Every structure is written in C-alpha cells, then in structure tokens.
C-alpha cells in the first residue's frame, strides 16, 4: 500500500471511529473541568498536520478512548500514529491518563488534577501538548531515526476551568518529566469558547447555531527546570470551532499559527468524536 493510501486510510478510520458529544469543548491541547459521563465511552481521533520549513508535511494522529469511571474521575487511553509525506508511517506510542475532580460541586473556578504516563517515541507528532524547548525542527527528524528514541514520560497538569455566561474559560499548567535522567519541562494551555447560540431550538436541527461552538486556544512551552521561561520555546495560537451533531458525532477544527521562529508556521488540527452512552453491562444505577 502506498504512503498516500495509508494516510487516507488512517484519516478515514478516524472519521469512522468518530469523536465527541455533550460535555467536551473543541480544544486540542487545553482541558476543561468537564468530565466524561460515568459509564460512557467516547472515542475520538485527532489529527494534527504541519510542515517544517524546507521539509515534508506530517500528519500526527491520536486516537483516544475516554471512559467515565465515575462522575468525578475520567480515564483515557491514547494510541498515536505519525505519517510524513515522502518518508514513513509509524506508531508513535501509547498514553494512559486519569483526570480527577477534587471538588464535588461547581465553583467560580474548578480545579482538576491530571496524571498521565506516556510510552512514546520521537516519531510521535500528535502534538497533544507543547512543553520545554520543543521546536519545529523536531518534526523534521526522519521517522526511522526519530522512532528509535523511546521516551517513558510522566505528565502532570493542573486544570483550572470556569463557565461564565455561556463561555468556558480553561487554563492548564503542564509539568512533564522524561523518566530517564532529564529535567522537568513546563508548558501551558489557555482556551475559551462559547456556543454561537445559548438557547436551544425547539426543532430538531443539525445546523442550528446552538450546535456550533467558536473560540480560541493558545499553548506553548515554558522551558525546563534549568532554563525556565519563553526563550527558545514554541508558541501557538489560533481559532477553534466545534460542531456537535445532536446524538451524533462531534467535529472540531483548529487553525493554529506559530508565534515565533521556533514554532511551525501553521499547525492545523481536525478532531472527530463519538460517544457511546452507557456501555452494555454498565447500565446500572447511580
């Protein structure tokens, strides 16, 4: 199978598997405090594509299975793939994350604690976060060479999020540690979004304004333990949009732009999600 067909196949598989309904915001890096409903499974695929200067375009795909363990605890498993035009397609690795809400009711700002274990390699280009001194040049390393660089990493996040007048505002602080002898790396993500219409229509509709969400997201690295700050870090910002088909899949899109020469010029993302409400065998009570 040619590389182009492989790319088309795995993008098509992403669409088929679907991704998002209900509680999710159309962000790609930032998390809000909204959790998966208990007993529900959401399958989502996100594809990031960019082109390092003077190199070939890459497609970094991440397929995730998000399960609501309880109303305050959500678990996710990710599998990452990467394809680079004119190069190769490779498995980027696995991630397992858990998010916990320590407070049991809504406040003006709602914290969520996040812990993730990653078994990934250098070919992973899903760009689910940007930390430390991650650079555009990292995306230009040939896949065969990059995948030999295996990384076992732990990632912690402090997620803060608020819902105000129809807006969701989310702020994330990211702390990542390669479990080998590497320093802690830092990053952040900020995002805000709002439905185009707050009041729901009394008609069944797919294209009603209430089903569309628009906003913006910004994220980047903040250096590491020894060299904290913005120097030699990648920074991205761009508009995000989401479309939730009632009782159907959710689509999200982001057109990110690099804010400095250390970043990719553009980073486009597409997400498709579908939620399987109340898995068979877990239709028990609450």
Other beta carbons within 10 Å of 242: 23
Number of residues that bind another protein (CB under 8 A): 43
Q: Please state, in angstroms and rounded to a whole number, the distance separating the CA atoms of residues 261 and 266.
A: 11
**202 counts as binding another protein under rule CB under 8 A:** yes
Q: Which of 46, 99, 101, 269 binds another protein (CB under 8 A)?
A: 101
**178 counts as binding another protein under rule CB under 8 A:** no
Q: Torsion-angle region of residue 276: left (phi > 0), alpha (psi -120 to 50) or beta?
A: beta
CB of 35 to another protein, least distance (A): 7
One character per residue 109-148, x = contact with another protein (rule: CB under 8 A) = ----------------------------------------
**159 counts as binding another protein under rule CB under 8 A:** no
Q: Torsion-angle region of residue 232: left (phi > 0), alpha (psi -120 to 50) or beta?
A: left
Which residue is listed with tokens 């002898």? 181
List the alpha helices (DSSP H) in 134-235: 143-146
**71 counts as binding another protein under rule CB under 8 A:** yes
Q: What is the DSSP letter of 39?
A: T
**283 counts as binding another protein under rule CB under 8 A:** yes
**69 counts as binding another protein under rule CB under 8 A:** yes
**39 counts as binding another protein under rule CB under 8 A:** yes
**Beta strands in the chain, from DSSP E residues, in sequence order:** 41-50, 58-70, 73-84, 89-100, 110-121, 150-164, 167-178, 184-195, 212-224, 235-244, 250-258, 266-276
Q: Which of 20, 27, 28, 40 binds another protein (CB under 8 A)?
A: 40
* Residues in contact with another protein by the rule CB under 8 A: 21-23, 25, 32, 34-35, 37-40, 68-73, 75, 101, 104-106, 163, 166, 168, 195, 198-204, 210, 246-247, 277-278, 282-286
């Amino acid at each position: 199978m040619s590389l182009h067909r492989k790319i088309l196949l795995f993008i098509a598989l992403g669409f088929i598997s679907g991704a998002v309904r209900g509680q999710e915001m159309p962000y790609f890096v930032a998390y809000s405090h909204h959790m998966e409903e208990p007993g529900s499974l959401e399958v989502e695929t996100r594809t990031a594509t960019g082109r390092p200067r003077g190199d070939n375009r890459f497609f970094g795909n991440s397929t995730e299975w998000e399960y609501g363990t309880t109303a305050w605890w959500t678990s996710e498993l990710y599998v990452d793939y990467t394809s680079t035009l004119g190069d190769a397609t490779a498995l980027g690795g696995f991630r397992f994350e858990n998010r916990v809400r320590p407070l049991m009711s809504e406040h003006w700002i709602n914290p969520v604690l996040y812990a993730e274990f990653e078994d990934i390699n250098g070919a992973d280009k899903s760009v689910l976060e940007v930390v430390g001194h991650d650079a555009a040049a990292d995306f230009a390393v040939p896949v065969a060479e990059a995948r030999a660089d295996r990384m076992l990493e732990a990632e912690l996040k402090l997620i803060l999020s608020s819902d105000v007048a129809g807006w969701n505002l989310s702020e994330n602080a990211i702390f990542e540690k390669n479990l080998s002898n590497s320093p802690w790396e830092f990053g952040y993500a900020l995002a805000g979004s709002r439905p185009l219409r707050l009041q729901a229509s009394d008609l069944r509709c797919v294209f009603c304004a209430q089903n569309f969400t628009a906003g913006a997201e910004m994220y980047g690295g903040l250096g590491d333990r020894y060299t904290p700050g913005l120097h030699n870090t990648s920074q991205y910002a761009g508009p995000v949009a989401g479309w939730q088909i009632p009782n159907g899949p959710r689509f999200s899109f982001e057109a990110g732009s690099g804010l400095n020469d250390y970043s990719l010029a553009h980073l486009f993302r597409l997400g498709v999600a579908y939620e399987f409400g109340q898995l068979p065998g877990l239709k028990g009570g609450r």
